[in-house]
Each structure stands twice: as C-alpha cells, then as structure tokens.
Chains A and B, each alone.
Chain A
Amino acid sequence: MPSARKVPWVVKYKPRRVDEVVDQEEAKKLFIEWIDSWFRGKPEKRASLLYGPPGSGKNSLVEALANERGLELIEMNASDYRRSSDIERIVKTSARGRSLTSARGKIIVLDEVDGISATADLGALDAILDLIKSSSYPVVLIANDPWDPKLRELRDACLMIEFRRLTKTAVKKVLHSICLSEKLVCDEEALDFIAERSEGDLRSAINDLEAVGEGFGKVTRSAAEALLRSRDRDLNVFEVVRKILMSKYAWQAREASNQTDLSPDELIKWIHENLPRQAQDPEDLWRAYEALSRADVYFSRIVKSGSWDLLTYAVDMMTAGVALSIKNTQYKFKWVKYSFPEVLRLIARTREVRQVREDLAKLIASHLKCSTSTAKSDVMPLLKVIFDSNPQYAARLALGLNMSESMIRYLSEHNGDAIVKLVDDLRRELARAGVRRGGETALGTRPARPSPESSRGRRTGSSKGLDNFSKK
C-alpha cells in the first residue's frame, strides 16, 4: 500500500525518545540534568549550547526530550534572528511569563548560532544574551562551531555540551535498522560505503540511503557509488565556491580550493559562473574579475611555457585574489543561489549547430588556406550577407564549395529552402551537361583555376556577371 504522503526518512526515523538517540551518552546525561534543574527551578546556567559536527544528534536530542516530557518547542534558525528586533519578538511572545492557557513548559531553541556572527548585526548577540537572562524557559543554542571570538560572551552564559562525531559503526547500525523497517535489500559493503562517506553525519547518511533505495530498489555498493559520487561532486563544488568567495583571509580561500577534486582550470569556470551572483557591487565585481583574469593569464602562460610551477599563482589569484576583492559586506555574505557553469549547458544544447558551423569553417579554411577562426570571424559573416541577399549567387557558391544542405541552412535562415532548391536545379543541369559532354566535369571536383574559356562563357549574357547563370 503506497502511503498518500511521502515523509522523508530523516523525519520518519527521527528518534521519539532520548534512548533512541544514537550514542552521545555524555551529552544526553548533561542535557537531561540541565533541563531537570530548570524545571526544579534553579539552573546553574540559564542556557545551554549544544555543539558538534552536523548530523551528530543535537536537534534530535532536544526534540526527543521535548517529546518525552511533553514540552513545547519554539524553534528559530539563523535566518530568523538576524536582527535584534527579531529576538525581542520571541522574548515578547513566548518567553516572558508563563502562559495561562498552556500548562506545558517550553524550550526555546536557537539553531545555527554560529551563523549569526557573520550575518547579523551585533545587536542580535546582545538580544540573545538578554533573552537568556530574562527567559522563564530554558534556552538552547545549537552550533557546529562555537569557537568564533564573537560568541565568547554567549559561551560564558551557557552550559557547553559537546556532541562527538558519530562513529562509522554507529551510523551503520542506524542504516541497518532502517533497511529492516523498509524491507530493503542491502549489502554490507554498500552500508559501509554510505557510512564512510557520511563522515559521522547521520542525517546525510540517511538521506543517501533513501536516495539509493528509492533510485535502485535495493542498496548495493555499485548503485550507491554510481548515484552518490556524481551528486556529491556538484553539491560539493557549490560549497567550495561559496567558501572561496566568502573568505575573509587569503589562506581560507586558498585552502577551500583544496576541498574539491576539480582541477584548477575547471574550478575557475565555476568561480567565473557564480562570482557575479555574489559580488554585486560594480567596484567589487570589477576588482574580482581583474583577479580572475590574472589567474587565467597564468593558465595561458603555463600552457605556453610548460612551467607548472606557475599553477600556484593562478590558484592564488582565482581564490584569494577574488575573495579579497569582494569588500562590500552587504553582498559578500549574502546567501545567493549558485548555478552550474551555464556555458557547458549551452554548448551541449547547441551541439548540432556548432558541428555544422565547425564543418563549414573547415571547408572554407581548406579553400582559402586560412585558419578556421579566420573563416568564422571574417568569411562566414560575409557569406551570410550573400546568402541572405542574393539566393541565386549563393546557390552557385554553395555548389562551388560543395556545401551540405545543413551548411546552406546555417548560412541563411530565410533563404535556406530556396537556395537548397536552386542548388538541386544547378546539379541537375550540370548532370545533363555532363552527359552531353561525356561526363567531362564530374560532380565534386573543381577546376584548379578558372579556365579562360569557361569564364568567357559565363560572362556572355549580362554585364553584371553575378546573378547570371544560364538556365538553358
């Protein structure tokens, strides 16, 4: 029976009780004691700060405990409390004074507090401190990395509770039990692979398991690899580019570039694609592009000279050079959606047209003994003019150069059909003449130079010579 609504597994298998939270025994003990002390009325610290790597169970523990004790959760994450006024609002609506209508206690949860130091005005931090002092409910702060100097006062006000990175075994155990509940065939190696890749992040491991299970109906190592490797890479690249662009220090930006398996010349395309989305101030954008262009110049020098030593300078400029060029903080730390290098998509979409264009360029280049780029820039635009304005003459050129039908259509959108037909007529006429004259001029060959006789033949009839071709 398919269920009407699909709940993601991370939600479906969320721990309901504290003992379902995997590992973190020490953190559990500390946290429960602290909550209990609150409701007994005399907490040693009025707030706690749960910190540790993503997916290690910080939120899960809070939610499981609230569920067990019947406490109401009031949750906010970083984007909700950027300004001090946001925090004051919570203080007003939920924190001060016990609600008469609800007998239940509450827990106020501020998630991602480490995100606040960079994005919010500093008033927000004071407001949180005020909230902690005045709240009649426990305030729980959650962070991945609480060691930012700006958060020092907050740390002092909180009971610090550390969550450790989950072990691979612990992650694997959970994956196993989910497979059992979902009646999903899985092999040991696949779970090893997913658990390994998660680096102790249970949330991402469960998401990965779901993706593989959904996609393939069973969880095998090869399925997991096929699905996760590619997806991982793109997500990862966005993160790396974001880190680079938001870096405040040169070393940060340079280090970020090591966190991807893209080569520097690929990475520069991703930076180029997304830089203008992040650096919206014209001054910043120009400075950053100067840096990016310097990096690109180094790449060209590497190719020319073969000195790979120069690579490090290219990387310096495309990472640190770019990051430090973005000075306008209003945009620098703003979250914007990044995208895949558009030019790669464009190239894929226009493959056929480009193929025709390249073939035509080669054809012209071989006739004129020039490079294909000259053919494209100097000759093809002029051919387009001829093909658009003089179909009769265009047809003769198409015949002389032995152009394919798609080349003709490439050169003229409007006259394409007409010219193709004219060329066919010319070919037939030529074939008839060939039969008459014993097949002397075969199709597909061209005279090395115009013989005086034939040019004379062509010139008889009209003074203009161009749109004149005999139709006898």
Chain B
Amino acid sequence: MSSRSTLAELLWAEKYRPRSLQDMVNQEDVVRRLQVFVKERNMPHLLFAGPPGTGKTTAAHALAHDLYGEDYRLYMLELNASDERGIDVIRTKVKEFARSKLPANVPFKIVLLDEADNMTADAQQALRRLMEMYVDVTRFILIANYPSKVIEPIQSRCAVFRFASLKKEDVVTRLKWICSQERVACDDRGLESIYEVSGGDMRKAINVLQAAAALGEVNVSNVYKVVGLATPAEVRALLKTALFEGDFLKARDTLRKLMVTYGLSGVDIVRQLHREVFSPEVTISEELRVEIADYLGEVQYRLVEGADDEIQLSALLAKLVLLGKPLRQQPQPPKPARR
C-alpha cells in the first residue's frame, strides 16, 4: 500500500509538534494561563521569553489554533526571524494587517513575531505604536530568547510568559513516546545522553533522536556518533592551529571555511569550540581550558549583542595564539617537537 504518508517522511520535530494547547506536555503553568485566554476569547499582548526549544513558538501556534480552529493562519500574520522585519516592513506589511477590518467571527487578529529581540530599536519603536493604535482589533505575540533586548515600552505593554528550560524527565518521556510511535528501538541511557547533548532544547533533542534512529537504534554510542559526525572536523583544527602552531592566518582561513561553506554562525562555532576545549582529546592544561572557556563566554556575549562574527572570532583566534605561546616554546609531549 503506497501513499504519500507511507513513502514520505517529515522531520519529527514537525511531525510531533503539539497542534493544540492540550497536547503540550510541559510548561503547565503557561499552558493553563493561555487556555484561560482561549476560554474567554480575549487576551492582552503577549511576550514569550525563554531559551530555544522550550515551546514558545509551538505555544503561540497552539493558542491560535485553539482560538480559530484548523484555519488559524487566516487570522494570523507570522513574521519569522528569517523574514525581513526592518522598520519598513513594520510600517507597511504589519501595519496593513493590524489595521485591517476584523472578520465577523473572531474577537481579534494575531501578529506573531518570532525572535523579536533581534529586531532593531527603530523597528521595535514602530511596533510599539502599532500595538497601541490597533489594540482593539489586533493582538501581538512576541517571542524572544532574551527579553531584556526587547525595549522597555514594549515589555510593559505585554503580559510576559517565561518558558523554563525543559526538565530531563520531560524530554526523556517525550522522546520515548516518539520512539514508540515510530517503532524505533531505544534504551534509557541513549535517551538520557540525548538530553545531555541538547540541554533542555526539545527541538534539538528530537532532531538528534531522529538522526540516531536513522543509524539503526537509539543508544549511547549512536547518539555520540551522531553528535561527532555533526561537528565539523575544522572546529578542532581551528583550536589546534591557533594554540599549537600559532599560525593565525591559517586558523583564520579555517574559520572562514567554517562560516562560508558550512554556513555556521559565530555563536555556533563558539559553542562547538567550547565543547572541544573540554574534550580529553585536546591536550592542554586544565587551567588553560578554563581560561579559554572564560574568553569564549566573552566572545559569545559580544556576538549576542550583535557584533560581527568574523571579527569577534578572529579576536578569539588572536587570543588563542597568544595563550598557546608557552606551549609552542617547549615541545609538547604528545606531539613531536617541531622547528
């Protein structure tokens, strides 16, 4: 028996995304309060804040779904981080939608803005005015990883909902349920190791689960195999070139390769470097690991502030070249002395 759904497969993070609020298995407090809005068919502007993969976007869609039914997208304008959301878009597209006449059967329309913290201050100001002017017909749901980067006047106009990082049991239970739906063999230690590598980010956990399942079954060794394969070898090369060879220009070329050909962002690379720094296969002193980690944190902070990936990571490489200077002066025991 062939049909599209037997032949084609989706990403599990999409396939098993809760469609309705009642399907959401965690963030109980948040969900309960949102369900009140559905019941009363009224709500204020909302700001969903919390780390990635904790259900913010899912909750927003589920809320709209429960308010308007299957065709909820008719009444919702959704602008993702990848969409253009400069001040012009706010003044034209968003404004058009926000002021448009209210369909007879719904209490209000919804504008959903993902990663609102990445919008410029100008665009946020423009947004604030729209939130005021059209509040009778349109409600805004803003989603942010870092609520502090949403301007104060917007924060004060929104009911803020904090999404906590998911607990281990929540993640493992959900993963186990997906495995049973998919008829995939899994063991608890495998699922726990997925939680270890994804740290309370459900979307990431489900993606790792699907990749591990594609290797056969979900066990510890497949999980780590997947994570290892998904980390480009260049990340470790970057660390080693800068520290042990002190070759800044070569390291910078590797960095560019990672960014341009793999399309990794600066923060991605910092995170992966962080993992490498504590890997036993990188033979450096414990003190140095900590010192590098501290600087990685600083770089990530600057990147989150909006600084340029290449310049900040080059500054990091320059720091590594300097930190590696004593290592290069005496031959490394595990490596043959060079020069």
In contact, B310 and A397 (Cβ under 8 angstroms) = no
By a CB distance below 8 angstroms, the chain A residues around B9 are 393, 396-397, 399-400
Given contacts A293-B312, A343-B256, is CB(A454)–CB(B264) below 8 Å? no
Distance from B207 Cβ to chain A, minimum over Cβ atoms (Å):
5
A276 touches B252 (CB 8 A): yes
Knowing A293-B307, A465-B182, A466-B213 are in contact, say whether A286-B318 is a contact too (CB < 8 A): yes
Q: What 0/1 readout, one digit per residue, does chain A (357-370) give for beta carbons within 8 Å of chain B? A: 11001101111111
Would you call B81 and A396 a contact (CB within 8 A)? no
Q: Pick from A372, A374, A441: contact of B4, CB below 8 A.
A: A441
Min CB–CB distance B120 → chain A (angstroms): 6
Asked if B77 lies at the interface with its beta carbon under 8 angstroms from chain A, I say: no
- As a 0/1 sequence over residues 168 to 180 of chain B, the CB contacts with chain A under 8 angstroms (1 = contact) are 0000000000000
Let me know if B181 and A455 touch, CB within 8 A.
yes
Q: Which residues of B lie under 8 Å from residue A466 when comparing CB positions?
A: 182, 184, 213-214
Least Cβ–Cβ distance between B225 and chain A, in angstroms: 8
Interface 9-mer from A56-64, A193-201, A250-258, A456-464: A456-464
The tally of residues in B whose CB lies under 8 Å from a CB in A reads 78
Residue among A304, A389, A457, A458 making CB contact with B214, cutoff 8 Å: A389
Q: Give a binary string over A370-395; 1 marks a CB under 8 Å from any B CB, 0 the rest.
A: 11111011111111111011100110
**A455 CA to B180 CA, complexed, in Å:** 12
Interface residues in B243-287 by Cβ distance below 8 A to A read 246, 248-249, 252-253, 256, 260-261, 263-265, 267-268
Distance of A396 Cα from B252 Cα, bound (Å): 38
Binding-face segment, A12-20, A73-81, A111-119, A294-302: A294-302
User: Would you call A465 and B263 a contact (CB within 8 A)?
Assistant: no
A282 lies within 8 A of B120 (CB): no
Please report the C-alpha to C-alpha distance between residue A288 and residue B325 in the assembled complex, in whole angstroms: 17
The 9 closest A-B pairs by CB, nearest first: A300-B306, A381-B230, A400-B8, A454-B5, A371-B81, A465-B183, A396-B9, A377-B268, A289-B315
How many residues on chain A are close to B (CB under 8 Å)?
93
The CB with the most chain B CB atoms within 10 A, among A293, A304, A454, is that of A293
Say yes or no: is B302 at the interface (Cβ < 8 Å to chain A).
Answer: yes
CA distance A466 to B181 in the complex (A): 11
User: Which secondary structure dominates chain B's binding surface?
Assistant: helix
Inter-subunit contact A377/B265 (CB<8 Å): yes
B6 interfacial by beta-carbon distance below 8 Å: yes
Known contacts A376-B268, A385-B211, A386-B214; can you find 18 more A-B pairs with CB under 8 A?
Answer: A276-B248, A288-B318, A296-B307, A304-B306, A306-B120, A368-B203, A370-B52, A370-B57, A371-B82, A372-B82, A380-B263, A386-B210, A386-B211, A396-B8, A433-B1, A465-B184, A470-B1, A472-B2
Cβ-closest chain B residue relative to A291: B315
- A326, CB-defined interface residue at 8 Å: no
Is B184 in contact with A464, judged by CB distance below 8 angstroms? yes
A377 to B230: give the CA distance in the assembly, Å: 9
Question: Is the pair A292, B214 in contact by a Cβ cutoff of 8 Å?
Answer: no
Chain B CB within 10 A, most for which of A299, A361, A377: A377
Residue numbers in A under 8 Å from B207 (CB-CB): 378-379, 382
Query: B290 interface residue, CB < 8 Å from A?
Result: no
- Whether B10 pairs with A282 at a CB distance below 8 angstroms is no
Q: Is B294 an interface residue (CB 8 A)?
A: no
The reply to whether A377 and B264 contact each other, CB–CB distance below 8 Å, is yes
Which residues of chain A are near B114, meaning CB under 8 Å? 369, 371
B84 CB–A CB distance under 8 Å: no
- Min Cβ gap A289→B in Å is 4
The answer to whether A385 touches B230 (Cβ under 8 A) is yes
B120 and A297 contact, CB distance less than 8 A: no
Given the known inter-chain contacts A354-B260, A378-B207, A447-B5, please indicate yes or no for A397 contacting B11, CB distance below 8 A.
yes
By a CB distance below 8 angstroms, the chain A residues around B184 are 464-466
Q: Which residues of B contact A305 (CB under 8 A)?
A: 121
Stretch at the interface among A45-53, A99-107, A177-185, A424-432: A424-432
Inter-chain CB contacts under 8 Å: number: 246
User: Can you sample 20 A-B contacts with CB below 8 Å?
Assistant: A282-B246, A288-B318, A290-B318, A300-B307, A301-B306, A304-B305, A343-B310, A353-B261, A358-B263, A367-B10, A385-B230, A389-B229, A396-B8, A397-B8, A399-B7, A429-B7, A446-B4, A455-B5, A457-B3, A470-B2
**What is the CA–CA distance of A433 and B248 in the complex, to the nearest angstrom?**
58
- Contacts A293-B315, A303-B120, A377-B265 hold; do A458 and B230 have CB atoms under 8 A apart? no
Considering the complex, give the chain A residue whose CB is closest to the CB of B70: A448
B215 beta carbon closer than 8 Å to chain A: yes
Would you give the shortest CB distance from A343 to chain B, in whole angstroms?
A: 6
Distance between A387 CB and nearest chain B CB, rounded to angstroms: 9
Contact stretch, chosen from B12-20, B42-50, B88-96, B103-111: B12-20
Determine the distance from Cα of A306 to Cα of B119 in the docked complex, in whole angstroms: 12
Q: Any chain B CB within 8 A of the CB of A347?
A: yes
Please state if B246 and A361 are interface contacts (CB–CB under 8 Å).
Answer: no
Asked whether any CB of chain B lies closer than 8 Å to the CB of A272, the reply is: yes
Instruction: Name B13's closest neighbour in chain A (CB-CB).
Output: A368
Contact of A457 among B6, B15, B264, B325 (CB under 8 A): B6
A450 to chain B, nearest CB (A): 6
Distance of B239 from chain A, by nearest CB (Å):
16
A230 within 8 A of B: no
Judge whether A268 is part of the interface by a CB distance below 8 angstroms.
yes
**A346 in the interface, Cβ–Cβ < 8 Å?**
yes
A160 lies within 8 A of chain B by Cβ: no
A343, A367, A466: which has the most chain B beta carbons within 10 Å?
A466
Interface status of A285 (Cβ within 8 A of chain B):
yes
With contacts A367-B10, A367-B11 known, is A297 near B214, CB below 8 A? no
What 1/0 mask marks residues of chain B from 287 to 322 whose CB sits below 8 Å from any chain A CB? 000000000000000100111101110110011011
Say which residue of A365, A366, A382 sits within 8 Å of B208 (CB atoms): A382
B115 beta carbon closer than 8 Å to chain A: yes
Known: A292-B311, A371-B80. A286 touches B214 (CB 8 A): no
Find residues 175-208 in chain B having any chain A CB closer than 8 Å to their own CB: 181-185, 203-204, 207-208
Is B166 interfacial (CB 8 A cutoff)?
A: no
Inter-chain contacts of B14 with A (CB < 8 A): 367-368
Q: Which residue of A lies closest to B252 (CB)?
A: A276
- Say whether B135 faces chain A, with CB atoms less than 8 Å apart: no
Q: How far is the CB of B71 from chain A (nearest CB, A)?
A: 11
Q: A293-B311, A300-B307, A466-B213 are in contact. Are A433 and B2 (CB under 8 A)?
A: yes
Which chain B positions have C-beta within 8 A of A447?
A: 4-5
Q: Does B61 contact A (CB under 8 A)?
A: yes
Q: How far is the CA of A376 from the CA of B258 in the complex (A)?
A: 12
Beta-carbon contact of B7 and A304 below 8 Å: no
Q: Mark B210-222, 1 if CB is under 8 A from A, else 0.
A: 1101111100000
Decide yes or no whether A350 CB sits under 8 A from chain B. yes
User: Within the complex, which residue of A296, A366, A459 is in contact with B183, where a contact is CB–CB below 8 Å?
Assistant: A459
- Chain A residues positioned under 8 Å from B312 (CB to CB): 293, 296
